[in-house]
Copies of this chain bind each other. A is one copy, B any other.
Amino acid sequence: MTAMTAGELQEFLANAFSTPPPFLIEEVGDWGARLRLPTSALIERPGGTVSGPNLMSLADSAAWLAILAQIGPVALAVTTSLHIDFLRKPVMVADVLADGILLKLGKRLAVVDVAMRSEGSEELVAKAQVTYSIPPR
């Protein structure tokens, strides 16, 4: 069982930030969290494509929410490092799904693997490994 459900996390984000996040929290579990970045979020930006910064930001959020789902919203976790490989251009007509899978949830550090793909495709558009520092509880 996770400390927070997908719905609770989505509500937490809505209250914590004045601007709503561009993604939806699709699912959370002991394994981590899945986010959905709708194509509508992409069409708004010039060029109308999923840019590298969009995907880096999505990877960072997927890692953060995979951790918060386990430890709750109290802890102030901060990114210490992020590595991302860009693999293919995303298909524009489909949402991007990001699966943040917990590789380690230690007392001080958490490491999350994030796989991103266009919905309906098995091929990854990008792959990240993200480390968060977890403050003493």
Contacts and interface: CB of A to CB of B under 8 A. Distances in A.
A79 B86 contact: yes
Nearest to A18: B46
Interface in A77-106: 78-88, 103-104
12 contacts: A19-B46, A52-B79, A53-B57, A80-B86, A80-B109, A82-B83, A87-B104, A87-B111, A88-B104, A103-B124, A103-B127, A109-B133
Interface of A: 17-19, 45-47, 52-53, 56-57, 60, 78-88, 103-104, 108-109, 111, 113, 124, 127, 129, 131, 133
Contacts of A81: 81, 83-86, 131
Main secondary structure on chain A at its contact with chain B? Answer: strand
Q: Which of A57, A78, A80, A108 is packed against the most chain B CB atoms within 10 Å?
A: A80
Contact of A47 (B17, B53, B84, B104): B17
Contacts of A84: 81-83
A15 to B, nearest CB: 12
A56 to B, nearest CB: 5
Contacts of A103: 85, 87, 124, 127
Contacts of A79: 52, 86
